[in-house]
Structure 1
Amino acid sequence: MITVQELMTPVGTQVDAGQSLIEVLAMMRRNQHSCAVVKDGDRVVGLIREKDLVAVLARVLESGSVAVGQAADVMTVNPVCVPAAASLLEALKRAQEHRQRQMPVLDEQGMLVGMITHTDMAQAYIHILERQSELVSVNRVLKAESLRDSLLNIGNRRAMEQDLEVLAAHPERRYALALLDLDWFKKYNDYYGHQAGDRALQRVSEAITRHLRQGDTLYRYGGEELLLLMLDTDLEGAWQGANRVREAVQQLGIEHAPSPLGVLTLSAGVASEAGVGVSHLIASADQALYYAKTHGHNSVVRAQVSERGKPPSS
C-alpha cells in the first residue's frame, strides 16, 4: 500500500499569518512553488494558492489601489490536511471530496511534515495502473503457458479437460473425439534415443496441426498419445479428419527402422455420439484405438458407442 509519506514533498514555502502578501509572493516565486502554507507557531492555519493571489490581483486592478494586505487576508482558513500514514486512495478521496489540489501533510502529533499535490497522487495512481496492466498481461501469458504442452506447443491435458468440461455443459453441441497414437513408438525411442523421439513428436504435432480444420484442437493426452477434438462433425466426418492427419504423418517419411512399415505412422480411434458423456466417448475412442493397434496399425477405426459388443469398423 502506497502511503502519503512516500509521495509527499518537503514544505518549501511556510509563512506567518501576519506576513505581507508581497513577501509571500516573493518567497513563492523564489521557491517556484504554487502554494504557501500559513502557520501559527506549529499549527497549520491556512493555505495560500495561486488562485488566491490572482483574486488579489483582480481586486487591485478593479480598485486601482496598490494597497495589499497580509497572508491572513487571502488564505484559505483551516485547509484540509492529510495524515502522513494515510493511503494514496484515502488522500485521493479527500482531495476529490474537498476539491483541493494541494494538501498539507501532518504527522501523528499534528506537525507539518510535507505537502502532497494532485499531480503527485495522479502520477502515483497512473504508475499503479501501469503495474496492474503489466501484471494482468503477465498472468494472461502464464495462464496460456499453463495450458500448453512445452514440447509440442499444443494444448496439454489440463487444457483438454477444461475445454471438454465446457462442451459437457452444452449437450446440444455436436463434436467428435479422436485418440491418436504413434505406432511402435517405444521401439523408436529405444532405437534412436529419446531426443530423436522428442523431435519426431514435434514434427508429427506440427504436421497434424497444419491439416486441422478451423475450430479443431489438438492436445497431448499423454506420452506419444494425442487427442483431437473436432467440433460440429459426426462420426464419418471425424473418421475422415483423423485419416487426413494419419496420411500427413505417414507422408513425413520419418525413418522408423524397427517398424514393419519403415516410417513413423500413427493409429487412431474416433468416437462421436450425441448425448453421450465425455468420459464415455473417450473410453469408446480408446477401444477403437486399441483395435487399430492390434489389427495392422496405421489405420483409423470408428468406435461403436451405442451398440455394445459390435466390433469397431475401420
Structure 2
Amino acid sequence: MITVQNIMTPVKTVVQAGDALSRTLTLMQRNRHSCALVVDAGRVIGLLTERDLSDVLTRSLERGCLDDRPVSEVMTPEPVCLAEQTLLLDALKLARDLHIRHFPVLDEGEALVGIVTQTDMANAYIRILEHQAELVQTNQTLELASLRDPLLSVRNRRAMDLDLGRMLSQAQIQGQSMAVGLLDLDRFKSYNDYYGHLAGDRALRSVARAVEENLRQGDTLYRYGGEELLLLMPDTDLEGAWQGADRARQAVERLNIEHVVSPLGRLTLSGGVAAGRGVGAEGLIAAADRAMYQAKRDGRNQVRAARQAPVIARDDCAGSVPSE
C-alpha cells in the first residue's frame, strides 16, 4: 500500500516566521516549489502557498504599494500535517474534505521530513490506476490464451465446457434446439506415421482454418482432443447441424491434402451431429459421437446424424470402429 512517504517532496523551502516575504518568494522560485514551510524551533507553525502570495499581492496592489512584510503575516497558521505512514487514499480523502492542496509530512518524532501536494497524490493515484489497467489487460490476455488451443488457434476443451453450459441454459430458457457436431480426421494416425508429426501439425492447422472459415455466424469450433474437432451450433435443428458439419467436410476435401495411405488418396474427415431441446451436454455429445462412428463404418468422408434427439440414453449407432 502506498503511503505519503513514498510520494512526498523532500524538505527544501523552509523559512522562519520572521523571514521577509521577498526572500521566501525568491527561495520558492529557485526550488520550483508551490509553497514554503514555516517553522519555529523545528516545529511546523505555518504554510505559505501561492494562494497566500496571490492574496497579499492583490491587497498590496489595491493599496497602491508593494511593501515587504514577514512571512508570519501572510502564512496559513497551524497547517494540517500528515504522518509519513498515512495511506495515500486517506490523504486524498482528507485533501478533498478539507479542500487542502499542501500537507507537511512529519515522522514518528513529529519532525518535519517533507511535504506532499494534491498534485503529488493525484499523480501517484493515476500511476496506480494505470498499473491496475495493465494488470487487468494482462489477466484478460492470459485468460483468453487459456481458452485457445496453441496449435490450432481455435477454442479449446476448457472453453467448450464453459460455452456449452451457457448455450444450453440459454437454449432451454428460449425453447430453442441446440446442436453439436463431432468431426474426426480419417486415418490420421496413419498420416502421422507416414508423413511425420510436423506435417501432421501443419495439416491440422490447415483443417482447423478451413473449417472455421466455413462456419455460420454464431457457430463455434473447438479442439475436442487430438485430431477431433467439435462444433457448437445454437438455435439449430438436426438438418441444419448436418449441413454445417458437411460444409466442414467439404472444406477439408477441397484442401486436397495428399494422404497416400488412405484409399481416398487425400486427407478427409468424418462427422456426426446431434440436436435436441432440453438436452444435457453429455447426452448431446455422446449421440454425435455415435453418429460419427457410424460415418466411419459407412466408409468415412461423410457426415451422419443421430436418428433421434438424445433425450434418453440409447445406442442410436451401435458398435464402434477405430477413430483413425
TM-score after normalising by structure 1: 0.94
Aligned residue pairs total 312
Instruction: List alignment gaps of at least 5 residues for structure 2.
Output: 319-324
In the alignment, residue 53 of structure 1 is paired with which amino acid? L
1:22 aligned partner: 22
Alpha-carbon distance, 1:26 to partner: 3.3
Alpha-carbon distance, 1:306 to partner: 4.2
CA distance in 2 between partners of 1:274 and 1:243 (Å):
22
**What does 1:126-275 align with in structure 2 at a 5 Å threshold?**
126-170=126-170, 171=172, 172-275=175-278
Other structure's SS at 2:9 match: coil
Question: Is contact 1:80–1:98 with CA below 8 Å preserved after alignment?
Answer: no
Please tell me whether residue 76 in structure 1 is matched to residue 76 in structure 2.
Answer: yes
Superimposed CA distance per residue, residues 262-303 of structure 1 (whole angstroms, 9 cap, x where no aligned partner): 111111110001121111100100111111112211111110
CA distance in 2 between partners of 1:258 and 1:196 (Å):
14
CA distance in 1 between partners of 2:315 and 2:152 (Å):
36
Question: Is contact 1:167–1:173 with CA below 8 Å preserved after alignment?
Answer: no
> 2:304 aligned to 286, 301, 304, which one?
301
Question: Is contact 1:155–1:220 with CA below 8 Å preserved after alignment?
Answer: yes
In the alignment, residue 131 of structure 2 is paired with which amino acid? R
**What does 1:1-80 align with in structure 2 at a 5 Å threshold?**
1-64=1-64, 66-80=66-80
CA distance in 1 between partners of 2:125 and 2:316 (Å):
68
CA distance in 1 between partners of 2:316 and 2:118 (Å):
77
CA distance in 2 between partners of 1:252 and 1:194 (Å):
19
TM-score after normalising by structure 2: 0.91
2:116 aligned partner: 116
CA distance in 2 between partners of 1:300 and 1:31 (Å):
80
Question: Is contact 1:281–1:305 with CA below 8 Å preserved after alignment?
Answer: no
Give the fraction of aligned pairs with identical amino acids, expressed as a percent.
Answer: 57
In the alignment, residue 125 of structure 2 is paired with which amino acid? Y
Alpha-carbon distance, 1:309 to partner: 5.6
CA distance in 2 between partners of 1:281 and 1:82 (Å):
65
CA distance in 2 between partners of 1:311 and 1:30 (Å):
89
Out of 223-232 and 116-125, give the one that drifted further: 116-125
2:321 aligned partner: none
Q: Does the C-alpha gap of structure 1 residues 257 and 111 become closer, same or farther in structure 2, counting only changes over 3 Å?
A: same
CA distance in 2 between partners of 1:94 and 1:309 (Å):
72
CA distance in 2 between partners of 1:29 and 1:93 (Å):
29
Q: Does the C-alpha gap of structure 1 residues 118 and 198 become closer, same or farther in structure 2, counting only changes over 3 Å?
A: same
